[in-house]
Structure 1
């Protein structure tokens, strides 16, 4: 993984960065926050898929683990 990542924002990227930035936040901070939100969204997507897969699971039908 490189130590730094080059990024040439488009006009639309710059608009999004301006609108998304919190007071006193640098562009790097805004991008880091966006990456964490993206990571969280991916986690939620997986969580929802797992929940959908397990929605009919009946834990009362499982033998006790102890």
Structure 2
């Protein structure tokens, strides 16, 4: 993993970064926060997918494991 990543923001990217930044927050910190939000979004999508796949599972119909 490189120590730094080059990024050439478009005008719209600049606007989003300005609007999303917290007071005193650096652009790097705003981008880090955005990456964590993306990671959480991916986790939630997987969670929803798993929940949908298991929605008809009835654990009460399963034999006791002990």
TM-score of the two chains, using structure 2 as the length reference? 0.96
**Hey, which bits of structure 1, 4+ residues long, moved more than 2 A?**
none
How big is the alpha-carbon RMSD for the aligned residues of Structure 1 and Structure 2?
A: 0.6
- The whole-number CA distance in structure 2 between the counterparts of 1:65 and 1:22 is 50
Q: Return 5+ residue gaps in structure 1 as ranges.
A: none
Alignment partner, residue 29 of structure 1? 29
- The whole-number CA distance in structure 1 between the counterparts of 2:51 and 2:23 is 37
Alpha-carbon shift at residue 55 of structure 1 (Å): 0.3
Alignment partner, residue 53 of structure 2? 53
- The whole-number CA distance in structure 2 between the counterparts of 1:15 and 1:54 is 41
- The whole-number CA distance in structure 2 between the counterparts of 1:32 and 1:65 is 44
